[in-house]
Amino acid sequence: MTPVAAALVLWLVTYITTPVDSYPDGKVTRACDSMMPQHGHEPQAGTIHSITVDKTTFKPGDQIKVTLSGPQFAGFFIQARDASHLEGSAVGSFSLIDDRISRLLTCGTVQDSAVSQINKRKKSMVEVYWIAPSNAPQHVQFLVTVVAKYSMYWVKIPGPIVSRTTPPPVIKISTTAALPIPTKSALTQRFSASGCGHSKFCVRNPTSCDPERDVECFFLSFQKKANSMQIELSGPGKGYVSFALSHDKWMGDDDYYLCVMDGQTVDVNPAYTTGRMHPETASPGVLQDVAWRVADGVLQCSFRRAIRIPSSLERFPLNGSYYIFLADGDAENGLIRRHHRQPLITNKMFNVSGTPEDVGGSRSPILIKFHGAMMFLAWMTTVSIGVLVARFFKPIWPTSTLCGVKIWFQVHRILMVTTVMLTAVAFVLPFLYRGKWSNVSENVISDIAQFIVCLKSEVYSKIKLHIIWTLSREICTVCVHILSYCSACLKTQL
């Protein structure tokens, strides 16, 4: 064997036998910190499994039932961590409900602080108890890694956040701490729009609304003070209001600020998003002069923030240009829920520390407005009139013709062709807006089904005279129209 061939064989043997760790018996303590299986594959995006708890508040010593469920999976790894510091160590301990499918593990110095599978048999649900420790943080979040098969797994799926009902013990903090805990005070009156566009930068929705008088007014202002920015945020107090600074018009990798109702108080925190995941709260130490107020259905919060924070890469410098998001929604026990409507997004990027402006935004992009208008016009107007003409005007114009074709059929055909054209254009607009396929909304599937049925109806009307049907033409026509109506009903329901 030549030296080159020997070297090639040695390389192949080394490459093929490179170790890749797998833990079918669930002993995965080496992955305590990252929760990442050592399988040599990339984790899947998103999640198809769910994590639920039987209660959302706890006291030291309480047991909370944690349930992991979804499509069948072989392995899992469950931990609880401080919700404000998800990269930290495991919090609390677990006890098993079924020791035939799960085992307890020790991560770090905390015994029984994680749970994993006992074998690689397929399972669709796992239940365990989490026991709250005496030194638990104020908010605890459950994280789960799920392995469906060796090459398919999801890492650190974010689960519910549970909150402590009693404040944690006071811990003295050294005077050399880098980020002091901000003090909170109460606001005494509503914010004023006076100075918007002159001394401070404002975002208002509806445009030019007055936060002093209008309880439905969403208001955000930035006022420069030396090397910091005074920020005011208010809106209808139904759960939370928030704003974000973004480099684009899509959620993800943004600098967030949350004003969240938690019982009789309000939590004001900075946060950061990665992709379309739930915002992760960060240390509130970057905020000073924090104040809040809930009165007359209006939620308000204000704080001061340095224009530049070099020590925190997640906090964008306020002397740059960004799209500004305004969002609101429900909150439960201090945990925000998905917003029910599209956030307001400014039409262009702004520098909030530059020339003061008074701007608005849109909660519905112009392309989506055209999509909705065209779908409404097609399926509530042209197709309905076309059906009525074919059903009731055929005996009224029995012999009259237009361009050699009976008038009733000519009108019916024009309306149906118009329906197809409107649906086709409306079908394309969301793809132009998103720039890619979206799995977020069921409307995607309904629109595609509607477009296919609509196109099928039109093609059928063009070629039906040239096809020999085994069934009567009337039955085929009825079937195609029923499909069209079902598609329209599906669209309405979704």
- Residue-wise DSSP of 452-470: HHHHHHHHHHHHGGGS--S
The domain at 184-359 falls in which architecture?
Sandwich (2.60)
What is the predicted pLDDT for the residue at 120?
Answer: 79
Q: Where are the domains of the chain?
A: 29-164, 184-359, 366-493
Mean pLDDT in consecutive groups of 10 residues from the start of the chain, 494 residues: 47 40 53 78 85 92 92 92 91 90 87 88 92 92 90 90 71 42 69 93 91 92 93 90 90 88 87 75 85 91 93 88 92 76 88 92 75 87 89 84 84 88 85 63 56 57 48 53 52 43
The pTM is what?
0.48
Q: Do the domains 29-164 and 184-359 sit in the same CATH topology, yes or no?
A: yes
Cis, peptide link before residue 206, omega less than 30° from 0: yes
What is the predicted pLDDT for the residue at 276?
Answer: 64
Per the CB < 8 A criterion, the answer to whether 250 and 227 are in contact is no
| Rg over CA atoms, the chain | 30
CATH class of the 29-164 domain in this structure: mainly beta
For CA atoms 366, 368, 372, 377, the dihedral sign is positive
**What residues form DSSP beta bridges with 266?**
261
**What residues form DSSP beta bridges with 127?**
67
Alpha helices in 229-382 (DSSP H): 366-377
Per the CB < 8 A criterion, the answer to whether 88 and 81 are in contact is yes
Provide the phi-psi class of 213: left if phi over 0, else alpha when psi is between -120 and 50, else beta.
alpha
What is the predicted pLDDT for the residue at 21?
Answer: 43
**What residues form DSSP beta bridges with 53?**
66
